[in-house]
């Protein structure tokens, strides 16, 4: 493929939040974008935002933790937009609870969406990348990978994604494919709003309290993460692979 040809990107969980901002950003970078989320109708806003700005996008409904749905979704993208060579594994859910109250079902749901979902999507898309001799994979990790109270399931999944990312980088590098992880800190989305609701705080107060703990003194916006993902998926980032970038308004370790 010549670099003037339009590359096809898949962004999962792109109906809203970080995924939606990423889909819009990648379309602005000239990519044709498949907006994947659980409910196809919920992807309409993101697709309309892209097409209104002159970009190309389609909505695809799929549960990333379901193998048959993932395979059908990737086949549809390949038929309607062309072979996908950029993949952003962003779909995610929370089922927070302290360990002694966490059900096995809530453990499984979180591990299934984040880890199994990223595995299934990557497996389905990688053959297109190998054929093209080019690929960019970005997995959404989190500052919670370093440990976070009430998130045994989520932190395990997000730490797992870092190991998954490094292994993809090692296995797929020879095919012109890079794999990197972006690990956001606090980003203002429905996900963090739900956490504020759960702990009984108003979202504005919750964000203000979070901002006070962040060196740049503000919470992140979805576009802050889309910006980092745009770098990793760029044509020029071919020598950057297996990295985890914390995008959190300050250092984390």
Ligand X SMILES: NC(=O)c1ccc[n+]([C@@H]2O[C@H](COP(=O)([O-])OP(=O)(O)OC[C@H]3O[C@@H](n4cnc5c(N)ncnc54)[C@H](O)[C@@H]3O)[C@@H](O)[C@H]2O)c1
Q: Which of 57, 140, 168, 226 binds ligand X (CB under 6 A)?
A: 140
Find the DSSP H helices in the chain. Answer: 17-28, 44-52, 67-80, 104-111, 117-132, 152-172, 190-198, 203-212, 222-233
* Smallest separation (angstroms) from ligand X to the CB of 189: 3
Tokens standing for residue 42: 């919920």
Closer Cβ to ligand X, 129 or 138, answer by number: 138
Member of 135, 160, 184, 249 binding ligand X (CB under 6 A):
184
Q: Closer to ligand X at the Cβ: 35 or 83? A: 35
Q: How far is the CB of 175 from ligand X (least distance, A)?
A: 25
Among 27, 47, 63, 156, binds ligand X (CB under 6 A): 63
Q: Is the dihedral of CA 250, 157, 59, 11 positive or negative?
A: positive
Phi, psi of 12 (to 5 degrees): -90, 155
Task: Show contacts with ligand X in window 5-44 (CB under 6 A).
Answer: 12-13, 15-19, 37-38
- Contact letters for ligand X, residues 80-119 (x by CB under 6 A): ----------xxxx-------------------x---x--
User: Percentage helix, strand, coil, to 5, in the chain?
Assistant: 55, 15, 30
Please count the residues of the chain.
253
Which residues are CB-contacts of 188 (< 8 A; sequence separation ≥ 6)? 203, 207, 219, 220, 221, 222
Looking at the annotation, which residues are catalytic?
154
How many residues touch ligand X under the rule CB under 6 A: the total is: 27
CB atoms within 10 A of CB 101: 9
CB of 75 to ligand X, least distance (A): 17
By the criterion CB under 6 A, which residues form the site for ligand X? 12-13, 15-19, 37-38, 63-65, 90-93, 113, 117, 140, 142, 184, 186-187, 189-192
């Amino acid at each position: 493929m010549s670099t003037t040809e339009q590359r096809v990107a898949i962004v999962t969980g792109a109906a809203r939040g970080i995924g939606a901002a990423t889909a819009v950003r990648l379309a602005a970078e000239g990519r044709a974008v498949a907006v994947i989320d659980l409910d196809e109708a919920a992807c309409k806003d993101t697709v309309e935002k892209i097409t209104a700005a002159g970009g190309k996008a389609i909505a695809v409904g799929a549960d990333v933790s379901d193998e048959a749905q993932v395979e059908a979704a990737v086949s549809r993208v390949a038929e309607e937009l062309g072979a996908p060579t950029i993949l952003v594994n962003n779909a995610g859910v929370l089922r927070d609870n302290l360990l002694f109250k966490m059900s096995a079902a809530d453990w499984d749901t979180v591990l299934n969406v984040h880890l199994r979902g990223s595995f299934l999507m990557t497996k389905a898309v990688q053959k297109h990348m190998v054929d093209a001799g080019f690929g960019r994979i970005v997995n959404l990790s989190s500052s919670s990978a370093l440990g976070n109270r009430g998130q045994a399931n989520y932190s395990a999944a997000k730490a797992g994604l870092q190991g998954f990312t490094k292994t993809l980088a090692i296995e797929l590098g020879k095919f012109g494919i890079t794999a990197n992880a972006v690990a956001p800190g606090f980003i203002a989305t429905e996900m963090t709003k739900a956490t504020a609701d759960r702990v009984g705080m108003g979202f504005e107060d919750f964000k203000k309290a979070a901002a006070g703990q962040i060196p740049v003194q503000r919470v992140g916006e979805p576009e802050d993460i889309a910006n980092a993902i745009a770098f990793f998926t760029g044509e020029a980032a071919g020598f950057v692979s297996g990295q985890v970038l914390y995008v959190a308004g300050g250092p984390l370790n």
